[in-house]
Chains A and B, each alone.
Chain A
Amino acid sequence: MLGKLIKHETRATSRIFLPLYGALLILTIFTKLALAFGAPDFFTDNVATNPIIEVVLGISFTLYFIAVVALSVMTLVMIIQRFYKNLFTDEGYLMFSLPVKTWELVLSKLIVGLIWSAVCTLMIVISFFILSLGSFSMMDLTQGISLAYTEFYSTFGTSLNVFIFETMMLIVVSTISSILMIYVSIAIGQLFNQHRIVASFGAYIVITIALQIIGSILMAIFALGNLDIVISQGNDGEAMQMIHLLINGSTLCNVALCIGFYLATQYIMKNRLNLE
């Protein structure tokens, strides 16, 4: 049943996202063409460009910028809206009477939300890549990357791959935990008889403050607060060790948060559900 939920969730969200991705792609290509024909040396030279072309470029860059922002905002809005509207308003009457388990409802929303977050990031990266085509050579790029690897290794004594992998892990886990934090806040809002949306916002703010406090305490315990001092002293090895600890520690904390948020959301939905 989880697969079916994911299928229908994807169907319900793709009708919003696909046109947006299309718009971003069209704007990217348009901007790229305007650049290529009107101002081929835009990125490299400071040669004055034709005023008409400048206006066209100005408009297409603005539209492009708006599309990128709209895409990012829309991804967040959809994550919130699909969870709230589909489960806790009138539509919830249907979703909760389906023969599926509560955790499947939560997980299907989470997985589809994550997929869209990833696709959104990927689309923006692709679009930047298209825009910057021609302003660098592939050879320079590969050379630059291999140089970065050797320099990183000689300075810190660990492979850059490890560092990238750990950072990616942190990004993935913290994305999950931030989505689940939205879910748990919405679920907590449902415990109130009135002003549920306000209560959800309140819950979100309270959780944020609590996490800030806990975070600062943990930083103090593990003496990670003076990372900037260590870096400024030029002690690369020690600094890298602290960064490792910081990244992996954050990943672990986020895993704990994910579990806590998920269980709390599921508990509320299962035992304290009270649709309006």
Chain B
Amino acid sequence: MTILSTKNLTKSYGKKTALSQINMDIPRGRIIGLLGPNGSGKSTLIKLAAGLLVPTSGEITIDGLAPGVDTKAKISYLSERSYLSDWMRVIEIIAFFEDFYPDFNRIKAENMLKDLNINPDDRLKTMSKGTKEKVQLILVMSRQAQLYLLDEPIGGVDPAARDYILNTIITNYKEDAAVIISTHLIADIEQILDDIIFINQGELVLSSSVDEIRETHNKSVDGLFREVFKC
């Protein structure tokens, strides 16, 4: 069962092509690493799936549907930017998510906040960058979505919290959901990935399962990445 599918997906900004003729089918029940150097088109691909960008040509479908209200309800999207309003308290943001997403689980969110020692009454303004990222990730993972799009989820988070977050990602998603994680911190997330997609300069370089890579290349994903994208 495919959750995300693209057909000749192309996106250009003016003359610059960010993604070119991408064809892929992402099945449910997998954790996929979307890997590539800076500016390779990872974020563009995720934004197209999230419905924040419109393709220049080709198509992208989520659960068979073009991006729109219905697909947005199925997707839990973590942007690379901190997208929460600074003046809000964590409890207010939880109320916001609860209002707009029927699949939001407040208890799950409150438990995670407790585990990471975040006070729900604090305003975002008073938090460090890393703490804000944690809050955002908690909100995104507290939904029972069908597709999680995590754009650079662990960049600013300390290693201890990183482990906790990766653990919640594995334990939180249902069997019929898929998780797409875009990052260049490959070594840190390699252990939880089922599949990987390498993209470079807007083109699909490699798409494979992690087991396959270990068998055929006899390398870790991190090792292969360093080899493929050697400067």
Q: Which residue of B lies closest to A96 (CB)?
A: B52
Question: CB within 8 Å of B: which residues of A?
Answer: 1, 4, 7-8, 11-12, 15, 86, 90-94, 96-101, 193, 270-275
* In the complex, chain A residues whose CB is within 8 Å of the CB of B100: 1, 4, 98-100
Binary CB contact string for chain B from 86 to 108 against chain A (1 if under 8 A, 0 otherwise):
01000010001001110000000
Chain A CB within 8 A of B169 CB: no
Q: With A99-B72, A100-B100, A273-B54 known to touch, is A93 a contact of B85 (CB < 8 Å)?
A: no
Q: Which residue of A lies closest to B74 (CB)?
A: A99
- A22–chain B nearest beta-carbon distance, Å: 18
Q: Could you list some 14 contacts between A and B, CB below 8 A? A: A1-B100, A8-B99, A86-B85, A90-B81, A91-B83, A91-B85, A93-B52, A94-B83, A98-B72, A99-B73, A100-B100, A193-B14, A271-B54, A273-B53
* In the complex, chain B residues whose CB is within 8 Å of the CB of A273: 52-54
Contact B54 A12 (CB under 8 A): no
Number of residues on chain B facing chain A (CB within 8 A) = 26
Question: CB within 8 Å of A: which residues of B?
Answer: 13-14, 47, 50-54, 69-70, 72-73, 75, 77, 79, 81-85, 87, 92, 96, 99-101
From A92, A272, A274, name the one whose CB has the most chain B CB atoms within 10 angstroms. A274
Contact A8 B96 (CB under 8 A): yes
* In the complex, chain B residues whose CB is within 8 Å of the CB of A100: 69, 72, 100
Contact B77 A97 (CB under 8 A): yes
* In the complex, chain A residues whose CB is within 8 Å of the CB of B14: 193
Contact A97 B87 (CB under 8 A): no
Q: Which residue of A lies closest to B99 (CB)?
A: A4
Q: How far is the CA of A57 from the CA of B84 in the complex (A)?
A: 45
- Additional A-B contacts beyond A86-B85, A91-B83, A274-B13 (12; CB < 8 A): A4-B99, A15-B87, A90-B79, A93-B52, A94-B79, A96-B52, A98-B72, A98-B100, A99-B101, A100-B69, A101-B69, A273-B52
